[in-house]
Amino acid sequence: MSPQVQYYKHGRLRVSGGVLPEAFTAYRTYGDPQNPCIVFPTCYGGKLNSQEYLIGDDKVLDPRKYFVVTFALFSNGESSSPSNTPAPYNGPYFPAVSYEDNIRAQYTVLTNALGVKEIFCVIGFSMGGQQAYHWAVIYPEFVKRFICLCGSARTSNHNACFLEGPKAALVASKDFDNGHYKSPPDHGIRAFGRVYSAWAYGQTWYRQDQHLYDGKYPDLNAFIRENWEHSFLAAWDANDMLTLLNTWRTGDVSIIRDNGNLKQCLGNIKAKGLVMPCKTDLYFPPEDNELEVEFMNGRARLVILDSVWGHMAGGGSNTKDTDLIQKEVKAFLQE
């Protein structure tokens, strides 16, 4: 059984785009607080319950051995978001939130509510991986290890261009109404899901010699409608999607303290790192990570997932890739 979601109330919180008068962070904890702490934040499209593919007695994040804390990003619908914030900061009036805002809020939860003295490891997939990098930069004395799965230290221009596609499909829809919609803008959310789906996978499911999802879907349109349109329609608010997208798009560890000098920023990281991209990832290609690991001067190790699953290889999409991730993570945690 999953642990209960807990909420930390920050009160008035200053963020990159303004203020939130009653901000809160949603989180879950697994295991004994006396054990080494592992932080596992959410990704884009992720909720707290989606983190459990790596958490469990027989998994690499074993609550019998570690104190695992999962955090919901601001704007994911569980922590403070456009959809759950009262006027005057509701909906399209919700301020922009950065990765740094998220990490500083999570640090407050760990130190004030949970009594954590140091983080043994931060691990994350996609936007979670970007948060792992940010943790290592913002709190260099607090974080001992970090693991980035299919993410990066800086959102590349290529990645940002992709993000403009689903964003444009949503905001240009006939029912979005500049974020002032009175009911869910289904047309826009469906369009967003369709544009997003084309980039999520590498070669699998689109290869001519493979059946879609092992025969689960009769054709490509059914796959997109049931897997991508439905997932966003069922669980996401449109303004939440856009605000969180902006956090992803503007991610860059080097602007925090090194004036945009990525090489200098990563060279100053003290934590040991494990960086695991997928060779067919169209969001975060491994070439970006190769350069990042080079900048960290031997403190990080690169392991490329040889998978056809693209970006989703790091998010628990298939047993083979998840097993390899667990093997590499377990070895890294034991070093």
Give the residue numbers annotated as catalytic, written as ranges. 126, 281, 311
Exposure on the CB side of residue 328, measured as CA atoms within 13 A:
22
Q: Is the torsion defined by CA of 239, 241, 245, 248 positive or negative?
A: positive
Q: How much helix, strand and coil, in percent to the nearest 5, is found in the chain?
A: 45, 15, 40
Eight-state DSSP code of residue 93: G
CA dihedral 176, 177, 179, 183 (to 10 degrees): -60
Give the chain's length.
335
State which H helix or E strand residue 48 sits in: none
**Helix intervals (H) in the chain:** 99-108, 127-138, 157-171, 186-200, 220-223, 230-235, 238-249, 254-257, 262-267, 286-295, 319-334
List Cα–Cα distances, 277 to 63, 116, 306, 307, in angstroms.
Answer: 26, 29, 9, 10
Backbone angles phi, psi at 61, to 5 degrees: -95, 80
Distance in angstroms (rounded) separating the CA atoms of residues 50 and 126: 13
List Cα–Cα distances, 282 to 62, 163, 297, in angstroms.
Answer: 31, 12, 26
- Listed in sequence order, the residues at least 6 apart from 118 whose beta carbon sits closer than 8 Å to its beta carbon are 37, 142, 143, 144
Hey, what are 327's tokens?
């093997």
Provide Rg for the chain, Cα atoms. 19
